[in-house]
Amino acid sequence: MEPEENIKPHAIMIPAPLQGHIVPFTHLAINLASKGLTITFVNTQSTHQRLMKAQSVSNSSLDYDIFSEARKSGLDIRYTTICDGFPLNFDRAGNHNQFMEGLLHVFSAHVDDLVGNLVNSNHNPPVSCLIADSYYVWPSEIAKKYNLVNISFWTEPALAFTSYYHMDLLRSNGHFGSQDNREDTIHYIPGVQAIEPGDLPSYIQDSEPWNIMHRYIFKSLEDAKKADMIICNTVQELESSTISALQEKKPFYAIGPIFPNGFTKTAIPTNLWIESDCIQWLNTKPKGSVMYISFGSLANISRQDVLEIAHGLLLSSVSFIWVVRPDITWSKETDLSPSRFEDDVKDRGLVVPWCSQIDVISHPAIGGFLTHCGWNSVLESIWCKVPMLCFPIFTDQFTNRKLVVSEWKVGFDLCSGRILRRQEIAQKIDCFTSEANELRINLEETRKQLEDALSENGSSGRNYKQLICDIKSKILQKSKNNNTRLL
């Protein structure tokens, strides 16, 4: 039997096919490979095609290897793609429910084939782990079938994970799963002092949580509970009591923030849209004078919301970069902003369909971020010491907003409810720019916690070491069990 220190883990990594999941998965792959693991990274063919299109790579065929640059620096990262069960030209966004049903019922058969082939093809080192997105419904079954260490990667904060983890508790207390959920403060989730029902992930808040998204997400989180270990893109010091309580139930490793080395754009394509270059425009603006506005890669808002934001910007005096994705609204309309809007703001505002967020947010001209509170955006804002104006839209964004506004005090709310009104937006933006300095004081401290965590002896540095040590011992344990079964 091989001694533990000689074991070289080989992990198959499979992110959910969403922008906000592909990015931390890619950076995690590089981090783990730089710590000696062999990685086989798997994107869906549809994701791969979009990455190539956004890069304007003429060779958009499936044999283009996105990790070829990383391998030049000696990292052992292999790359392959998998069919998600639908033809490449199938409109996944336009047929969302059908696509989710496919991920729920069909995708696992394709994963099974792929994992089976990788396990049985005499790779050196042999495949020993599966690191799958927590938003998949099949990892425990497939890991068990092929005797792999089952590692669930949760790309959101621990507070969102523990909310899902304790759904039975929420249900039995009447805060989840009925038409008239209780609305009083929740004090009984282990490790969480208090949380308002409106700060839970949106799928738990819904009064009729039975559609395909609810069924899919709840099933995936049930599966994540069966993992051998859970890794999380958060920092021990930022969510210490929540993480400690989770660690009593499961091996849970806070190894965030999971960023590219040096917080610069990597050579590995992770963007699903073509980026506009905003840097020359930003170079003409004074330090800290521009508000960056982006609602991420997935969230939809109504055309009315777009109009209210546009009018709010017209009424305010702020300079801004506003990312308006072509698919930001549910409607197919392309002309979303008020007539002459871009002419009226042309010296102080720039509207783009997509951009490199890391490049923009780290630019000295950026002084604030009007954000949907996606978790990557929150961590990047803190790293760049950019205060946030929060407008959560769905999923974990309400939970993230609680952390930003109430716990760490590095952001303000954009509006009191979920309805946007132009006068309130203008007033909040102008108030935000005059009061942002108090947020910056808190940002200094929070950013230092992120930085300290990433140092070799910081909490995330130590948790990485512990994780790799525990993976090796789990591989050893599984191979012993397997050998015992074979005798």
Q: Is the pLDDT of residue 234 over 90?
A: yes
In this structure, what token pair is assigned to residue 269? 């394509």
Rounded to whole angstroms, how far apart are CA atoms 133 and 218?
A: 14
- Residue 95: helix, strand or coil by DSSP? coil
On whether residue 365 sits in a domain, the answer given is yes
On whether residue 114 sits in a domain, the answer given is yes
Radius of gyration of the chain (CA): 22
The domain spanning residue 342 has which CATH number?
A: 3.40.50.2000
In this structure, what token pair is assigned to residue 49? 């095609």
**321-369 pLDDT tens trace:** 999 988 888 666 666 677 788 888 888 999 999 999 999 999 999 999 9
- Amino acid letter for position 237: E
- Residue 467: helix, strand or coil by DSSP? helix
Which of 51-60, 112-121, 388-397 bottoms out in mean pLDDT, i.e. has the lowest?
Answer: 51-60
On whether residue 54 sits in a domain, the answer given is yes
**93-121 pLDDT tens trace:** 889 999 999 999 999 999 999 999 999 99
Can you tell me the mean pLDDT for 207-230? Answer: 95
On whether residue 121 sits in a domain, the answer given is yes
State whether 411 and 376 are in the same domain.
Answer: yes
CB under 8 A, 24+ apart: contacts of 358-364: 358/260, 358/263, 358/264, 358/265, 359/265, 359/278, 359/279, 360/278, 360/279, 360/282, 360/292, 360/321, 361/292, 361/386, 362/263, 363/279, 363/282, 363/290, 364/287, 364/288
If pLDDT is split at 50, 70 and 90, which confidence band does 487 have? very low
Selected residue with higher pLDDT from 259 and 340 = 259
State whether 301 and 246 are in the same domain.
Answer: no
**406-417 pLDDT tens trace:** 999 999 999 877
If pLDDT is split at 50, 70 and 90, which confidence band does 485 have? low
Please report, rounded to a whole number, the percentage of residues in the chain having pLDDT higher than 90: 77
State whether 219 and 73 are in the same domain.
Answer: yes
Output the pLDDT for position 58.
Answer: 57
Output the pLDDT for position 268.
Answer: 87
Total Cβ atoms within 10 A of residue 240? 14
Closest C-alpha among 189, 225, 193, 258 to residue 463: 258
Torsion of CA 406, 410, 414, 417, to 10 degrees: -10
Total Cβ atoms within 10 A of residue 407? 13
3-class SS string, 381-396: HHHCCCCEEECCCCCC
Through-space distance between the first and last CA atoms of the chain, rounded to whole angstroms: 14
State whether 348 and 399 are in the same domain.
Answer: yes
State whether 446 and 460 are in the same domain.
Answer: no
On whether residue 150 sits in a domain, the answer given is yes
State whether 164 and 239 are in the same domain.
Answer: yes
If pLDDT is split at 50, 70 and 90, which confidence band does 470 have? very high
If pLDDT is split at 50, 70 and 90, which confidence band does 61 have? low
Selected residue with higher pLDDT from 150 and 296 = 150
Output the pLDDT for position 408.
Answer: 97
Q: What is residue 482's DSSP assignment?
A: H
Q: Is the pLDDT of residue 87 over 90?
A: yes
Provide the greatest CA pair distance for the chain.
78
Q: Is the pLDDT of residue 227 over 50?
A: yes
Rounded to 5 degrees, φ, ψ at 353 are -75, -25
State whether 350 and 446 are in the same domain.
Answer: yes
State whether 402 and 435 are in the same domain.
Answer: yes
On whether residue 1 sits in a domain, the answer given is no
On whether residue 317 sits in a domain, the answer given is yes
342 and 349 Cβ atoms separated by less than 8 Å: yes
**1-13 pLDDT tens trace:** 456 668 899 999 9
State whether 172 and 282 are in the same domain.
Answer: no
State whether 369 and 473 are in the same domain.
Answer: no
Q: What total number of domains does the chain contain?
A: 2
Rounded to whole angstroms, how far apart are CA atoms 320 and 345?
A: 9
Q: Is the pLDDT of residue 267 over 60?
A: yes
Output the pLDDT for position 317.
Answer: 87
Rounded to whole angstroms, how far apart are CA atoms 164 and 342?
A: 42
**270-324 pLDDT tens trace:** 888 889 999 999 999 999 999 999 998 888 888 899 999 999 999 998 999 999 9
Contacts of 55 (CB under 8 A, 6+ apart): 269, 271
Contacts of 65 (CB under 8 A, 6+ apart): 79
Output the pLDDT for position 330.
Answer: 67
**417-465 pLDDT tens trace:** 778 999 999 999 999 988 888 899 999 999 999 999 999 899 999 999 9
Please report, rounded to a whole number, the percentage of residues in the chain having pLDDT higher than 70: 94
In this structure, what token pair is assigned to residue 330? 């549910």
Helices (H), 238-302: 240-247, 279-283
13 and 42 Cβ atoms separated by less than 8 Å: yes
Rounded to whole angstroms, how far apart are CA atoms 358 and 278?
A: 12
On whether residue 155 sits in a domain, the answer given is yes
Output the pLDDT for position 255.
Answer: 98
Q: Which residue range forms the structural domain that includes residue 238?
A: 10-263+456-486
Closest C-alpha among 382, 199, 368, 201 to residue 292: 368
Total Cβ atoms within 10 A of residue 104? 17
| 428-465: b (≥16 Cβ within 10 Å) or e | bbeebbeebeebeebbeebbebbeebbeeebbbebbbe
State whether 177 and 28 are in the same domain.
Answer: yes
State whether 249 and 294 are in the same domain.
Answer: no
Query: Residue 415 burial (CB < 10 Å; 0-12/13-18/19+)?
Result: middle
Contacts of 420 (CB under 8 A, 6+ apart): 304, 305, 308, 309, 312, 391, 414
Output the pLDDT for position 169.
Answer: 97
In this structure, what token pair is assigned to residue 443? 């940002």
